[in-house]
Amino acid sequence: MDRAKNIVKQVFGYHQFKPGQEEIIGSIVAGQDTVGIMPTGAGKSLCYQVPALMGPGLSLVISPLIALMKDQVDALNEVGVAAVTISSALEAGEVRRRLNQAAAGRYRLLYVAPERLQSPAFTEILHKLPLYLLVVDEAHCVSQWGHDFRPSYLAIAPWVEELPQRPLLAAFTATATPAVKEDIINMLGLRNPAVFLTGFDRPNLYYSVVKGTNRSRYIARYIEKHPTESGIIYAATRKEVDNLYEQLKSKRVSVERYHAGLSGEERCLAQEAFIRDETQVMVATNAFGLGIDKSNIRYVIHHNMPRHLEAYYQEAGRAGRDGLPAECTLLYQAADIQIQKYLIEHSELSPRHKRSEYLKLHDMIDYCHTSGCLRRYILSYFGEKGTSQRCENCANCLEREIRNITVEAQKIMSCVYRMQERFGASLVAAVLQGSHSQRVLDLGFDQLSTYGIMSALNREEIVELIQLLAAENYLASSSGQYPVLSLTKKSWPVLRGREQVILSMPKAPEPIRKENPVFEALRALRTEIARREKRPPYMIFSDSTLEEMSQQLPTNEEEMLDISGVGEFKLQKYGREFLDLIRQL
């Protein structure tokens, strides 16, 4: 591992391994198939790039998106590593040229999409090469139970079996439930793999759920408070993306948009502007972001609730890849549930998969309504047990008000009981609110003793309380398109007056990042260099590297090399300009 440590320091500029990296690198170098499940920002790319630079022959990296591969290759080239990608964006002649160079030993790493494995010409050349390592990135795509299934990933294992000599296999992902982890092992044909789960926790991310707010106004005000910071706003539909984009543009926000309804050229230009810090805000559907290695995203706001926590964790996790504080805010409204149910019901999924999607949606709804620690909820969902009750870095832990809602809970539970536990939240709320709707009257629910006993609240507020009680297991809600409420063992002590229901209610977070004039000056220089070099700014130096420079204020090359993220290659290329600026400040 001494050689690995030298590569990490001299090539990539890091002084030590992040948690889990040393063990995963050691496993691959020892010749064992390996699975690495690591949160975004934990440095999973380094876990296979270092062995690729140590091992004999070529390392092949399979990745799902052109943008992801381009980012990885550009970053490697930036530190002097010979890497290349082959994609559908290239002309046939350029593909042949790169393949021939790979055959001649020109590259250490070759990045391709899984569809490339179906090319006979590609396979013929790979059969002639000493393939040392095959890496499957975003490996959750191989599982039909994952949130981003790609059928092309199923071709990987058969392709490997046809190789003259089987290479080492390593699979990496940031999102994998226990079921998806088993699929990764089985569907990729891994042999007795070493499995490393470094944890799903991202301590630098501040989670919050904001309910019942005017979403577009909230977003506009948030951006106004964070004018120089990069952020992503996710919306559920193209129409919502377009509306938000126009609203923000009218307020002179530096904004771009991204969705499948735009042309390929429009999407490419928008993405490049955002990656290069020429645009501060990206408004997008979930079509944007997989594998985008932009490290200085300071916030991710979800305009709508996603369908499941895997998607939310991955999308929110695009914030704070550099390890600095970042915020992940979900703007929830009850209408989001109906949108997601509609999308599930009108999908081409099998009945079994639809049932699975409804269960995942139920977990997502509970996340939005839990009064407990948001981080703990996410970690528990992914199978991490034994986490503390409070993380002290989410809205539910830090920005909450304690409310005793025992009386409201008793009224709701009593109504559910009197309606014979056969109906959903909407109808229960209608009865409690005293609705004169035809259905309430036809079913005779206006004759119940609970009819109208919460008339001081509107129906949306009652539904919100019902969902909060369900999230805290005071009520049960069945899965499916039309969930039914029922009482639980926690309901009866409350109904009988033996226990109280005391819960915390989250508030919207305040900005947590303060401006640093030295950091801003270094960032301005980085932007200038990036435009000159025609590269994304974070590929010059990450925000965390600039932050450390602004605190340590190195005055010579030796001190500059002590800054995390400054390797010898980048020191020679950029070090002088940054040192000159620091001396002037």
Among the residue ranges 65-79, 337-351, 379-393, 524-538, the one predicted with the least confidence is 379-393
Question: What is the pLDDT averaged over residues 22-49?
Answer: 92
Residue 18 φ/ψ, nearest 5 degrees: -80, 160
Number of helices (H), then strands (E), belonging to the chain: the values are 27, 17
pLDDT in tens, 487-516: 999 999 999 999 999 876 545 444 444 567
pLDDT in tens, 553-573: 888 888 888 888 898 889 889
Question: What is the pLDDT averaged over residues 528-552?
Answer: 88
pLDDT at res. 440: 93
pLDDT at res. 184: 94
pLDDT in tens, 225-236: 998 899 999 998
What's the pLDDT band for 26 if we cut at 50, 70, 90? very high
What's the pLDDT band for 289 if we cut at 50, 70, 90? low
- Ordered strands of the 255-258 beta sheet: 205-211, 326-332, 297-302, 230-234, 281-284, 255-258
Tokens in use for 194?
Answer: 């070493």
Residues 177, 383: Cα–Cα separation, whole Å: 7
Question: What is the pLDDT averaged over residues 131-149?
Answer: 86
- Whether residue 309 contacts residue 364, with contact meaning beta carbons closer than 8 Å, is answered with yes
pLDDT at res. 515: 62
The per-residue DSSP string of 218-255 comes to HHHHHHHH-TTSEEEEE-SSHHHHHHHHHHHHHTT--E
pLDDT in tens, 389-400: 778 889 888 876
Question: What is the pLDDT averaged over residues 301-324?
Answer: 91
Question: What is the pLDDT averaged over residues 47-53?
Answer: 95
pLDDT at res. 139: 92
pLDDT at res. 500: 93
pLDDT at res. 511: 44
Q: What is the mean pLDDT of the chain?
A: 88
**Domains of the chain from N-terminus onward:** 2-197 (3.40.50.300), 205-399 (3.40.50.300), 402-506 (1.10.10.10), 517-584 (1.10.150.80)
The proportion of the chain whose per-residue pLDDT surpasses 70, expressed as a percent, equals 96
- Whether residue 109 contacts residue 45, with contact meaning beta carbons closer than 8 Å, is answered with no
Q: Is the pLDDT of residue 305 over 50?
A: yes
- Whether residue 84 contacts residue 69, with contact meaning beta carbons closer than 8 Å, is answered with no
The proportion of the chain whose per-residue pLDDT surpasses 90, expressed as a percent, equals 45
Question: Could you tell me the pTM of the whole model?
Answer: 0.67
Tokens in use for 91?
Answer: 């002309």
User: Is residue 35 packed enough to be buried (19+ CB in 10 Å), middle (13-18) or exposed (0-12)?
Assistant: buried
Q: Is the pLDDT of residue 427 over 90?
A: yes
Q: How many CA atoms lie within 13 A of 187 on its CB side?
A: 24
Q: Is the pLDDT of residue 33 over 50?
A: yes
What's the pLDDT band for 51 if we cut at 50, 70, 90? very high
Question: What is the pLDDT averaged over residues 387-413?
Answer: 84
What's the pLDDT band for 186 if we cut at 50, 70, 90? very high
pLDDT at res. 522: 92
Q: How many beta carbons lie within 10 A of that of residue 42, not counting itself?
A: 24
pLDDT at res. 470: 85
